[in-house]
Structure 1
Amino acid sequence: MSRPRPLKITRWGAVAAQATMAAAVAAALPAQAAPNYPVTPTQRDTARQVAQAGVPLSELAPDAPESHVVKRGDTLWDISKLFLKSPWRWPELWGMNLDQIRNPHLIFPGQVLVLVKRDGRAMLQVGQSVSADPPVERLSPRVRSELLDNGAIASIPLHLIGPFLNEAVVFETNELELAPRIVATQEGRVLLSRGETAYVMGDLGGAREFRLFREPQPVRDPETREILGYEARYVGTADYVRPGEERLGADGKPRAVPATFVVTTIRMEAGVGDRLSPVPQRELTAYAPHAPAVPVEGRIASLYGDALSAGQNQIVALNKGRRDGLERGHVLALWRAGRADFDTTSGKKTPIQLPDERHGLLFVFRVFERVSYALIVNVKDPVVPGDRFTSP
C-alpha cells in the first residue's frame, strides 16, 4: 500500500499563531493597555513557541478520538470540532509556526490524522501512529474534494460563503450613482430574466462582464449613526454584447444609442435603473480561521437580505473593517444583551441589568475599509442589528 501524501504547508505567516497572540499580549501587559499596545518581537516569539507546542490537553474535546480518516466533504473546521472545544483554534492543534502563512495545511480524503499527546499538550499529525501496537492503518488518497482546485479539503464549508464573495459588496461612497445603468429593456419589458436583453448607458471602462445592483442603501454604525459605506442589493450579472454609438435622428440631431447587454444570471429580476459594476477577479483564498491579534469589539450593523433577524449560516455586516484591524478568517464571539430586570429580594424593587451572555461565533470572510461581512457559524438566539461581538 502506498504511503500517504505528506502534509503540505504553504504561506501561513505573521497571523498563523494569532489564536494565541492575544493571550501572549494580555499576559505581558496590564489589561487596560493591551488593546492598543504594539506586538513586540518578544511577544511574537512567545506566540511562536505556544503555537508550535500544540494545545493544552484541557482544550481537547472530552470525546476526542485518537485518529480520524479524512472523508470527502470534511473541512478543517469539521475535523477540529472532533478534537477541540474551540474548533477555530486548529492552527495550534496542527503546531503551526509564524513562517507558515495564511493558507491552511493541505490534507486530502483518505489520509489518517493522528492525535499525539506529549508533555501535557496535544498535536495533530498525518499518518503517524502514537504507538506501534496496534498500528494505525495508513491509507493513500482515494477521493478528492471538489472544494479546492488541487483536491485538498477546505478550512471551512466554502459553499456557505461562495455565493456572497461577489454578491455582498459595500461601496466606500455612493459611486453607483455614476455607474452605467439600464435605461431600457427588450421589447419594453418591465422586468428582465436570464437571457433577455438590456440596454445600458454610461462609461463601461473596457469591462465586458458586469454585476447588476439595485439602489444602494447606507450602512450605518448602530452606535454613532455614521455612514460606513453603501450596500447595494445584488440583482445578477450581465455580459456585454455590442457598444453604444451616436446617430443622427430624423430631425438631424444626434441621439445616443445605448450599449447592448444580455442578462446571464439572476438573483432577482432586473429592470430599468439597475446599476452595473465590473465583475472583480474571483477570490480563491483558502480561509484560515484565527483570532484577532488584539482585542476587537463592535456591533452588527445590518443583516444581509430582508430578514428582521438572522440565524446559523446567515450573513451579517459588522461595523468594523480593515481600518479597525479585521481581516478575512477572523473568528469573533457573539453576545446576547442582558435584559433589564428588578431585584425584589430585599423587599424593594431595585432596577438591575443582567450581564451579557456569549451565545455564538462569527467567521469574517469579506473585509472592506469600514465594514466587514461575516458568516454566523453557530448561535443560540436570533441575531439582530446592534448585537455585540468581541474577540473570541
Structure 2
Amino acid sequence: MRKLIISKILFLSLFFVLPVQADNIVLRSDTPDHHVVLPGDTLWSIASRFLKDPWRWPQIWGLNRTQVKNPHKIYPGDIVVLEETANGSRLRLAKKKGMVKLSPSIRINRLSNAAIPSIPASAIEPFLSQPLVIEQNGLEKAPFLLGSSDRRVILSSGDTVYVHNLPTNQGVTWQIFRPGKALRDPDRNGQILGYEATYLGDAKVSIFANISTATITHSVQEILKGDRLVVSPDILFNNYIPRAPELPVKGRIISVYGGVNEIGKGAIITLNKGTHDHLEAGHVLAIYRESFVKAPEGKMVQLPDMRTGLAFIFRVFDQVSYALVMQSTQSIQIHDTVGIP
C-alpha cells in the first residue's frame, strides 16, 4: 500500500524586508527568482547566486547576533525564493505544496547533520584540530615516541610504537606533532607570535604502562623517534554564520598552511590577529593588496588598497588565527592585509 506525504510550506521564522540598495546589499544582475538546494551546496554558494557579497546572507534572511551560532536548518530539496514586494526585495525559504509518492527506488532521510553548512565543512575539518600554535618549547613536557621494536628510523601508519611519559587519564587517541616554524608579525618588527607545531599523524594506545604501547593509525608525514604526542581534542564543526567583526581590525597574512607557494580560493592562511584583537570564528575579512608607484620626483606613493579576496576565520588563538580563502579575484600573497569587508 502506497502512502502519500503532504508537505507544508516552510518559511523562515524571521524575514528581513529591504530595498535592494539598502545597507549596501546589492543583488546580482543575473539573480534567479528561485534556487533549489542541491547536495553539496553551502549557504555561501547559495547566497552567491543572489548577492554580490554572499557573506551577507544572514542580513537578508533576518538572523541576529543571538542566533549567530544556531543557523536555520536548510536541506537539499528546499527552495530559496527571491520575492519582490512593495517595500523591496526579500529572500525566503519555502517548500512547494503538494503530494509526493514514496518510491522504492529513492529514499531520502533528513538528518540533523545533513543540513546545508555555511561553508564547505570538508575544507576545514582537517584543520579544526591542527595545526597547533604553541609557545616556544611548548612541547618539551609532552609525551614522546621512543621508537619501534625493530628500530625503524621512519615510522608510518600501521606501525607499533612505544611512548614515554604517557598519562593514563586522557584517553587512548593522540595526535603526533613536531615543533615547527615560528610565526612572526611583520607589523611588529618580526616579533614571534607563537610556533606552529607540524601535525604528523594519529596514534591509538593499546597498553598503558611506564612505557606505553600504541599503534600509528594515520600519518601524513614521516614520523620519527622523539616526535611528541598531544591528546586528540573532541572535534565539533561549529556551523558559524559569517559576519563582519564589530570592531575595526587591520592585520596581515603571515603564512599559508601546507607549504604552497600561491594563495587562492580554498587556501588556509594564518593571520597575525587573534582573540586579543576580538576576532572570533565566523568573522569574515576582506583581503587587500597594497601597491606603490614611483612619482615623477622619485618619491614612492602608495595607491589605494585593492580588494583581492575574502577570508572566513574558523580557528582562533590568542595572537593568530586561521582562515579559509572563500574568494579571490587575483593572486594573494604573504603580507597582504586583511580588514573589515
1:374 matched to 2:333? The reply is: no
Amino acid at match of 1:231: E
Tell me, in whole angstroms, the C-alpha distance in 2 between the residues paired with 1:339 and 1:92: 36
Partner residue in 2 for 1:244: 209
Encode CA deviations 1:100-123: one digit per residue, 9 max, x unaligned: 342221011111221123344322
- How far does residue 52 in structure 1 lie from its aligned partner after superposition? 5.7
Tell me, in whole angstroms, the C-alpha distance in 2 between the residues paired with 1:380 and 1:164: 24
Tell me, in whole angstroms, the C-alpha distance in 1 between the residues paired with 2:59 and 2:109: 24
Q: Give the TM-score normalised by structure 2.
A: 0.87
Partner residue in 2 for 1:252: none
Among candidates 205, 216, 232, match of residue 197 of structure 2: 232
1:53 matched to 2:16? The reply is: yes
Tell me, in whole angstroms, the C-alpha distance in 1 between the residues paired with 2:99 and 2:17: 24
Q: Give the TM-score normalised by structure 1.
A: 0.77
Amino acid at match of 1:235: L
Partner residue in 1 for 2:79: 112
1:78 matched to 2:78? The reply is: no
Unaligned runs of 5+ in 2: none
SS state of the match for residue 174, structure 1? Answer: coil
Query: 1:172/1:82 Cα in 2 relative to 1: closer, same or farther (>3 Å)?
Result: same
Among candidates 153, 175, 179, match of residue 116 of structure 2: 153
Higher mean C-alpha deviation, range 193-202 or range 325-334: 193-202
Partner residue in 2 for 1:100: 67
Encode CA deviations 1:96-143: one digit per residue, 9 max, x unaligned: 234434222101111122112334432211227xxxxxxx67687988
Encode CA deviations 1:165-214: one digit per residue, 9 max, x unaligned: 11222124532111111122241111111110111112425221111011
* Matched-pair contact (CA < 8 Å) for 1:222–1:300: no
Tell me, in whole angstroms, the C-alpha distance in 2 between the residues paired with 1:306 and 1:352: 32
Partner residue in 2 for 1:18: none
1:202 matched to 2:165? The reply is: yes
1:389 matched to 2:326? The reply is: no
Tell me, in whole angstroms, the C-alpha distance in 2 between the residues paired with 1:196 and 1:349: 63
SS state of the match for residue 6, structure 1? Answer: coil
Query: 1:8/1:265 Cα in 2 relative to 1: closer, same or farther (>3 Å)?
Result: farther
- How far does residue 149 in structure 1 lie from its aligned partner after superposition? 4.5
Higher mean C-alpha deviation, range 97-106 or range 64-73: 97-106
- How far does residue 322 in structure 1 lie from its aligned partner after superposition? 1.0
* Matched-pair contact (CA < 8 Å) for 1:102–1:287: yes
Tell me, in whole angstroms, the C-alpha distance in 1 between the residues paired with 2:31 and 2:273: 35
Query: 1:270/1:100 Cα in 2 relative to 1: closer, same or farther (>3 Å)?
Result: same
1:122 matched to 2:86? The reply is: no
Query: 1:139/1:100 Cα in 2 relative to 1: closer, same or farther (>3 Å)?
Result: farther
What are the residue-to-residue correspondences of 1:24-63 with 2, within 5 Å?
Answer: 53-58=16-21, 59-63=26-30
Report % sequence identity.
39
Among candidates 206, 219, 226, match of residue 183 of structure 2: 219
Query: 1:56/1:274 Cα in 2 relative to 1: closer, same or farther (>3 Å)?
Result: farther
SS state of the match for residue 163, structure 1? Answer: helix
The structure with the larger Rg is: 1
Query: 1:273/1:5 Cα in 2 relative to 1: closer, same or farther (>3 Å)?
Result: farther
SS state of the match for residue 159, structure 1? Answer: helix
Among candidates 268, 282, 286, match of residue 315 of structure 1: 268
- How far does residue 360 in structure 1 lie from its aligned partner after superposition? 0.5
Tell me, in whole angstroms, the C-alpha distance in 2 between the residues paired with 1:143 and 1:65: 29
* Matched-pair contact (CA < 8 Å) for 1:55–1:92: no
SS state of the match for residue 167, structure 1? Answer: coil
* Matched-pair contact (CA < 8 Å) for 2:6–2:97: no
* Matched-pair contact (CA < 8 Å) for 1:212–1:275: yes
Tell me, in whole angstroms, the C-alpha distance in 1 between the residues paired with 2:267 and 2:109: 24
Amino acid at match of 2:179: E
Tell me, in whole angstroms, the C-alpha distance in 2 between the residues paired with 1:300 and 1:211: 27
Q: How many residue pairs are counted as aligned between the two chains?
A: 327
Tell me, in whole angstroms, the C-alpha distance in 2 between the residues paired with 1:179 and 1:144: 46
Tell me, in whole angstroms, the C-alpha distance in 2 between the residues paired with 1:266 and 1:144: 35
SS state of the match for residue 161, structure 1? Answer: helix
Query: 1:375/1:298 Cα in 2 relative to 1: closer, same or farther (>3 Å)?
Result: same
Among candidates 360, 365, 368, match of residue 309 of structure 2: 360
Tell me, in whole angstroms, the C-alpha distance in 1 between the residues paired with 2:11 and 2:131: 34
Unaligned runs of 5+ in 1: 10-50, 129-135, 246-257
* Matched-pair contact (CA < 8 Å) for 2:308–2:331: no
* Matched-pair contact (CA < 8 Å) for 1:73–1:145: no
Q: CA RMSD in A?
A: 2.6
SS state of the match for residue 57, structure 1? Answer: coil
Amino acid at match of 1:190: V
Instruction: Considering fraction of residues, name the structure with more helix.
Output: 1
SS state of the match for residue 187, structure 1? Answer: coil
Query: 1:274/1:369 Cα in 2 relative to 1: closer, same or farther (>3 Å)?
Result: same
Query: 1:203/1:325 Cα in 2 relative to 1: closer, same or farther (>3 Å)?
Result: same
Partner residue in 1 for 2:6: 2
Amino acid at match of 1:92: Q
Instruction: Considering fraction of residues, name the structure with more strand.
Output: 2
Tell me, in whole angstroms, the C-alpha distance in 2 between the residues paired with 1:89 and 1:212: 38
* Matched-pair contact (CA < 8 Å) for 2:274–2:321: yes
